[in-house]
Structure 1
């Protein structure tokens, strides 16, 4: 409280006392006991009111003790059960979470992790993937501003994701790995990696690369086999020693029939192997009888051309050829789709050939596009010519219906450089992406598709899409999301199939450890996405003949169902609408492969390195007696006393109002009782 406020309080007391004495002594020569009581009550009332006007502020300090957090993250993947460590892991969690000393010093938080992090103490050891680095990434968001030593109970075997031993660069906490498993080295032969393209072409041969690894000290001989059903399609004798403990096998296989061909690669186990699961690996190749050929036509170099070629050819079913505007005219019939990059008057002959042969095409309009030429030669839309450019970002149109478009975080992508001005369409069109400026929607299309005269066309009103592919890699650490988006666009534009009211998006085969998601779209008779319909999928195991039915759940702009619970087998399915007689069928195959069963030991080296990098310490699950003691005695994890200072104005003190009311009420009652009123 400052000195000025104190002076005001003193003055208020003097004024209140003067008024009280003046009122009860001015007309009387002496003060009776009753008048003295009245003076006191009046003083109390006036002084309280004046105090409210001065409204002094008081400091209120509260002290609290904040305990550090103890984060316990348990590996919930099936590799823990495979290494026979599940019972020890559960017992350790119960021991730690029930320890009174730990609970006195820490706030104990329990998590499980596999593919993702979950706040739970219930462990089942059934998850098919492990991403330890992702668990630390999510924990760093939760415990960014606190002291939170972390116990991670795991075998250290990660199946995908960034290397977790460097997680301490982003997760600024001390990490204490509790290692499940042992360090004993077992003699083992395994298929470390198998590389094969997803697609092959009929009457052709496709390459396969297999990396074989041996752990052991003796020289061993074995046989590497590839079988298709009961037929051996490739075999090779292999030998290993302590010095030569790996071998790369390269070979080719024929593709003689259209469809999914399943194979099994096996390295014959030696007699004393402990883990024989990792000696075999299933793989499949989809054989197609035609390759989609696409021409990219441009009269100048641009980074967009290379980015489009990379994205399109990420699917082995498609090939891209670069042509200039003159070369394309004579070769137009060799391609299913023509991509025209920023046309000008030199493209007049190409547009005439396209219109004559009614070819599907995709136009990219940018800052070098001659809009006057484009307006004259394209009857579907026209551009307002302002001779100005603008940078536009993208916003996904969730109501787009021709095919399923996943949101790959378009709003985070860099803006495209485009011509400023309105675009007018003379035919119905559907916008995939709309333009925004600084987050403000313009209701102008950025990427559209439409159908006219029995052909499909698309237009991108902007250049520098290569930056989108780069940003997609930054966002997801992979080009796959962007390439899949471009792939769906190209697949739609290159096809002349009639539009269906029910579309189903699925793969021909899935690996056993991956998520099996099937998506579907349903449209009403006007081809507007219908959210009122109920879709169900009936899945039949072609081997056991067992049929299961699942509902498809509406999510964003499509229906989805997760079939990850299905065991490896060959399946046929039918997606059917409940209220209308519309259905669509297909087949897919789930390959038998459990990546969590490929490990024999705990990854002790990485876990110890993780502990060292973060300032923690590693422990084996059979030797955790010192773990609790180390945590309790570590001075880095002391409780912190915090003070919270609040400035409270007197006007918020409710008791002062009670004092005013009581003093006024007592004065009135006593005066009334004594006949003075």
Structure 2
């Protein structure tokens, strides 16, 4: 009816009461106008009674809160999505004519009658929709390749997506591998692998392992792997550089296995940010010299740091956390274990508290915790800007936690003794978070469940949820790990206990997530320079020539309140370059800006903040352009990644010469994939202004006619 599958009218009250009310209205209106003073014509009495019946009926109709429910059946045709790699690597000349293969496939698929709709996207550092008639304008110049953004586009689509086709060389230079996320979509990926996967004669420096934060005057190892194909037995030299200064050099005979391990000992002299390079000499006839060196930045910290673990009671979490942290020789770990309301197992509580650089609260404070010592902990955290890690279980007292709640990313009003068994579910856009990026997505998904107390918790605006929960394999919105980084305040909260399971029950799988998470948390909590009122950062340290360089800044006043009306001037200098840009305020003390640079080299930036013509301070930093162009480092097509992606999603991967087979399979896959979608819409008639106006008009008309007739 009227194009709808079903039309229903419902009331908030029983329909029988509406019918009874309607009968009463009719009887009352007829009775009122059966006799009138002065007498009027029969037609006028009938008309006045009719007006009153309609007006009162509409009024009662509104009181009964009627809702009109319209049900529509919609046939959704299948939609095929095509994602075309628009990055620089598609221009690599490896004999496979990559761009020609892409353009030929685009022409073929546009002119092929695939059932349903076809939508096209280009992807690289970002993913954009592209009209079919604009596909020939792709320039293949994106500075990076991010597959994770493809999953975001698909996840947010309301279309009846039947197939997904990715045309790419499969080399990821930004973001994470989306195997797990793609599998959860339930849509097959049909990938066209473009390029040459054969190994060429080359030497490559890869897998450089280092600590981002290390300590002055403390030796640390920087490890790397050198691979070679076709150069076994050749001699090369490898050098470690701090800036332009050679620190150490080694001569290496390339192994016939194709792999050489390399280790340098690096002892930084002073604190600060240092650019480190490893360079391997270039031999004749190498396929590429770009992959013979690696550059990275390290932060040199002063001295060792003191960690204080305060536990509400002895337990496995305390033991496992302590054992993991003591594996780092740069940490001195002390404990305070509550064994009665006013007593700790260890002595010298005040001395240990005073010397702490980072405090871990493990199921503390409890209902029995001493208020006096808790106040000292609160004062230490607040007055000395000490970073905080909190492990929250039902043993923690919400009332006593109020003492330090302003330092946390959450507020807690109630914690029950009942638990849910939850698994971690990292947020998709947090894959590069320093607390998570030392472990793969599959490692997090393989962790055993831990108890999470059922509680009333609210994440504050400055809180950042980096891990949510899975309950029986189903995603929940409950946070599991929340962080806060506001001004000088840094804190991490884990909303669960018995996290020792993450280490003990994964030991046989050789999953090191527990240790890496704690050590990464410790480094993040102790990261330098976060107590400044002005913080200016680049989105990363290394950029390709021409790639947008994004700056972000945070500005606070003396009380660390966000300051949004300041003027932030940023001076950038480098090789034969000097310029100034103004960062724009986006509210809440945040500022942003960007520029592009084409000349390779190391650059410095210095930002000055003015407010009411007063200098609030400055911040500075460094970045590099051109040392690393990730799109040109790997010339081989990564067929294994594309093939594994299609296997995980029950699709298929094709190589350059199999485009006809790919198109045929796409036609077949879209044959019977139309589906019905039931759309239900509710119209709340009782809130309609038109009905109210109509009631007023009818009563006004009745009153007007009665007055014209001389009636009361």
Residue among 569, 574, 578 paired with 1:546? 578
Structure 2 length-normalised TM:
0.59
Inter-partner Cα distance in structure 1 for 2:677 and 2:276: 68
Q: Secondary structure at the match of 1:278?
A: helix
Query: Do structure 1's residue 585 and structure 2's residue 619 form an aligned pair?
Result: yes
1:373 lines up with 2:388 in the alignment: no
Identify if the C-alpha distance between structure 1 residues 324 and 484 changes in structure 2 by more than 3 Å, giving closer, same or farther. closer
600, 603, 613: which is aligned to 1:570?
603
Q: What is the deviation of 1:282?
A: 1.6
In structure 1, the residue matched to 2:666 is 631
Quickly say closer, same or farther: Cα 1:351–1:264, change in 2 above 3 A: closer
**Contact 2:548 2:596 survives alignment (8 Å):** no
Corresponding residue number in structure 2 for 1:598? 633
Supply the distance in 1 between the matched residues of 2:489 and 2:650 (Cα, whole angstroms). Answer: 59
Rounded Cα–Cα distance in structure 2 between residues aligned with 1:165 and 1:616: 13
Give unpaired runs (5+ residues) of structure 2.
2-69, 415-454, 464-481, 507-512, 682-712
Check the 8 A contact 1:191/1:267 in 2, yes or no: yes
Bigger radius of gyration among the two: 1
Query: How far apart, in 1, do the equivalents of 2:240 and 2:100 lie?
Result: 39
TM-score by length of 1: 0.62
Do 1:508 and 1:588's aligned partners in 2 also have CA atoms closer than 8 Å? no
Q: Give matches, 1:82-481, under 5 Å.
A: 82-83=92-93, 87-88=99-100, 91-92=103-104, 94-96=106-108, 98-99=110-111, 101-102=113-114, 105-114=115-124, 117-120=127-130, 123-132=138-147, 134-135=148-149, 137-138=151-152, 141-142=155-156, 146=160, 148-159=162-173, 163=177, 169-216=183-230, 219-228=233-242, 231-240=245-254, 243-296=256-309, 301-305=314-318, 319-323=331-335, 344-346=342-344, 350=348, 364=361, 366=363, 369=366, 371=368, 373-375=370-372, 378=375, 417-419=395-397, 421=399, 432-437=409-414, 439=456, 467=499
CA 1:194–1:515 in 2, change beyond 3 Å: closer, same or farther? farther
Structure 1 Cα separation of the partners of residues 209 and 171 of structure 2: 21
Structure 1 residue 154: Cα displacement:
0.3
Stretch moving more, 277-286 or 602-611: 602-611
Structure 2 Cα separation of the partners of residues 376 and 211 of structure 1: 51
CA drift of 1:185 comes to 3.0
**Inter-partner Cα distance in structure 2 for 1:370 and 1:534:** 45
Residues 162, 262 of structure 1: alpha-carbon distance in 2 compared, 3 angstrom cutoff: closer
CA RMSD for the aligned pairs? 5.6
Sort the Cα spacing of 1:479 and 1:588 in 2 relative to 1 into closer, same or farther, 3 A: farther
Distance 1:229 1:66, change over 3 A: closer
- Secondary structure of the residue aligned to 1:597 is helix
Distance (Å, rounded) in 1 between the aligned partners of 2:579 and 2:610? 18
- 1:75 equivalent in structure 2: 85
Alignment partners' CA distance in 2, 1:63 and 1:526: 58
Residues 63 and 192 from structure 1, CA distance in 2 versus in 1: closer, same or farther, beyond 3 angstroms?
A: same
CA distance 1:100–1:341, change in 2 (3 Å): farther
- Relative to structure 1, the CA distance from residue 363 to residue 68 in structure 2 (aligned partners, 3 Å threshold; closer, same or farther) is closer
The answer for the alignment partner of 1:25 in structure 2 is none
1:628–1:302 Cα change, 3 Å: same
Offset of 1:227 from its aligned partner?
Answer: 3.7
Can you give the 5+ residue segments of structure 1 that lack an aligned partner in the other structure? Answer: 2-59, 326-339, 383-399, 450-455, 648-677
Distance in 1, Cα, partners of 2:523 & 2:89: 35
- Give the Cα separation in 2 of the matches to 1:361 and 1:282: 31
Q: Take 2:205 and 2:309, find their aligned partners in 1: how far apart are those partners?
A: 41
Q: How many residues align?
A: 531
The 1:159–1:523 alpha-carbon spacing in structure 2 relative to 1, beyond 3 Å, is closer
